Amino acid sequence: MNKGSKDNKIVYFPQLKERLFEKGIDALQNSHLDQAVQFLEQAYEMDPEDGEVGPALVVALYEGKKYQRAKEICRELLLEGQGDYFKVVELYVMILIQLNEHNEVVSTLSALFDEKEVPFEKEEHFGKLLSFSKRVLEGKEAPAPGRPDEAQVTEEKTILEGKDLQEQTFILAELVNRNIRPYLPELLTALKNEETHPFIGTMIVNVLREHGFNEEVEVKKFGKVMTCIPANLEEVFQTEYFTSVAEGIEDLVAQRNPTLLQQVRETFTRHSFLLYPGEFEWPAEKVSIAYLLYGLQLYGEDPSDIGLDEEKTDDAVIKSIESFILELEKVTSPVL
Per-residue pLDDT tens over the stretch 160-180: 888 888 788 878 887 777 778
Per-residue pLDDT tens over the stretch 223-273: 999 999 999 999 989 899 999 999 999 888 876 778 888 889 899 999 999
Is the pLDDT confidence value at 142 over 60? no
* Strand, coil or helix: 303: helix
DSSP one-letter code for 237: G
Is the pLDDT confidence value at 336 over 50? no
Q: Are 230 and 203 in contact (CB under 8 A)?
A: no
Q: Are 53 and 47 in contact (CB under 8 A)?
A: yes
Q: What burial letters (b/e) apply to 269-308, b meaning 16+ CB within 10 Å?
A: eebbbbbbbbbbeeebebbbbbbbbbbbeeeeeebeeeeb
Region 134-144: mean pLDDT is: 66
Per-residue pLDDT tens over the stretch 14-48: 477 788 888 888 887 777 888 889 989 998 888 88
Region 150-169: mean pLDDT is: 66
Percent of the chain with pLDDT over 90: 30
Q: Are 286 and 320 in contact (CB under 8 A)?
A: no
Percent of the chain with pLDDT over 70: 85
Contacts of 242 (CB under 8 A, 6+ apart): 236, 272, 279
Q: Which residue has the higher pLDDT, 102 or 141?
A: 102
* Strand, coil or helix: 66: coil
The runs of H, that is alpha helices, within the chain are 16-29, 33-46, 53-63, 67-80, 85-98, 102-114, 120-137, 150-153, 165-175, 184-191, 198-210, 240-253, 258-275, 284-299, 310-313, 316-329
Per-residue pLDDT tens over the stretch 45-90: 888 888 888 888 998 898 888 889 999 999 999 888 888 888 888 8
Task: Output the pLDDT for position 302.
Answer: 72
Gap between the Cα atoms of 45 and 37, Å rounded:
12
Task: Output the pLDDT for position 179.
Answer: 75
SS (H, E, C) 262-286: HHHHHHHHHHHHHHCCCCCCCCHHH
Confidence of residue 307 (pLDDT cuts 50, 70, 90): low
pLDDT, mean over the chain:
82
How distant, in Å, are the alpha carbons of 15, 119, 177 from that of 278? 38, 36, 25
Rounded to 5°, the CA angle 204-207-209 comes to 110
How distant, in Å, are the alpha carbons of 23, 103, 252 from that of 150? 26, 18, 54
How distant, in Å, are the alpha carbons of 72, 208, 275, 315 from that of 321? 58, 30, 14, 10
Region 172-197: mean pLDDT is: 86
Q: Of 146-150, 214-218, 315-319, which range is least confident?
A: 146-150
Task: Output the pLDDT for position 176.
Answer: 76
Q: Domains (ranges, CATH) in the chain?
A: 5-153 (1.25.40.10), 165-232 (no CATH), 236-329 (1.10.472)
Is the pLDDT confidence value at 7 over 70? no
Is the pLDDT confidence value at 3 over 50? no
Q: Which residue has the higher pLDDT, 1 or 64?
A: 64
Confidence of residue 220 (pLDDT cuts 50, 70, 90): very high
Task: Output the pLDDT for position 174.
Answer: 76
